[in-house]
Structure 1
């Protein structure tokens, strides 16, 4: 028991690498974003969510790539596609909006059904990397 205690608190024999592609997010919830849709508070669904934040008009190659690929990515989940909803956060009226948009930057986020931010993907990463992570999350998750 003393050895286990020592190993836990020193980090000895902890994995030095991870298999996820996106950046893991700790202790943040979607409610902190105070999302609105058409000037009304937005109610979160009980599904996994992919949120694409776009502070400016989507003009970069990476942004347009993500925007065009994400709808197809959800379809690639097959039987799990009904567990995931795709949402865009930006300045256009057809999108969800938040006052924190400039802080969030251009990115793609995975949010669990409980509203916890799970992972963040910078524009440089690919939708294929997100798909790989999302499939793993859906496989091991009992929620949503």
Structure 2
């Protein structure tokens, strides 16, 4: 047996060790990157759940990732909820005509964002318009800062869960920075109670 043949098993063993070390390093990098997300969900969903007193209804985010809603900006250009990944999204749904209940939701979302103080930049407000009718120019100006997207109403209805006896237009929803629906507020909500829920989520989360 030549020296070359004798060295081959040792070299193969060294290569396998390097591969194992490389895999462990890659796993460590993934865990470090995912740690803030894991910690925030563990804190909110697992640690002392019996002590929580949420106003909004918690939704398992793993079951409601943002689907393809066939969405676009009001001018027809490409736009979607996935564009807000990395931010919390307060979401409302209504027709372009936007009756008083719709305007009340727009006002509530604007107030809630302002009420978060220095944390407000972590939150985006979005109105999903479910028909093709024009939105009043004055309404767009009045609620400047609320992004308005047209969506396919059937796809949206298949995504958003509702309370018994209500429709998706009755609620304000919250989407997390990973793009998952995670909370639904009741019809005609109390803004002060909503503020407490949102503040708790922002404090518990290391993302967004």
Residue 53 (str. 1) matches residue 117 (str. 2) = no
1:86, distance to aligned residue in structure 2 (A): 0.8
Supply the RMSD in Å over aligned alpha carbons: 2.5
The aligned runs of 1:1-144 (5 Å cut-off) are: 15=50, 18-26=52-60, 27-37=63-73, 38-42=76-80, 43-45=82-84, 46-55=86-95, 57-60=97-100, 62-90=101-129, 91=131, 92=134, 95-100=148-153, 103=157, 104=160, 105-106=168-169, 107-144=171-208
Would you identify which runs of 4 or more consecutive aligned residues in structure 1 move more than 6 Å? none
SS at match of 1:44: helix
Tell me which structure has the larger Cα radius of gyration: 2
TM-score by length of 1: 0.75
Name the SS of the counterpart of 2:91 in structure 1. strand
Task: Give structure 2 stretches of 5+ with no counterpart.
Answer: 1-48, 141-147, 161-167
Which sections of structure 1, spanning at least 5 residues, go unmatched?
A: 1-13
Structure having the higher helix fraction is 2
1:100-127 per-residue CA deviation (whole Å, 9 max, x = no partner) reads 3672421211111100101012322222
Cα shift at 1:39: 4.8
Larger proportion of strand: 1
Decide whether the 8 Å contact of 1:51 with 1:108 is kept in 2: yes
Change (3 A) 1:128 1:77: same
Aligned positions, number: 129
Instruction: Compute the displacement of 1:55 (Å).
Output: 3.9
Query: Using the alignment, how far apart are the partners of 1:35 and 1:117 within structure 2?
Result: 17
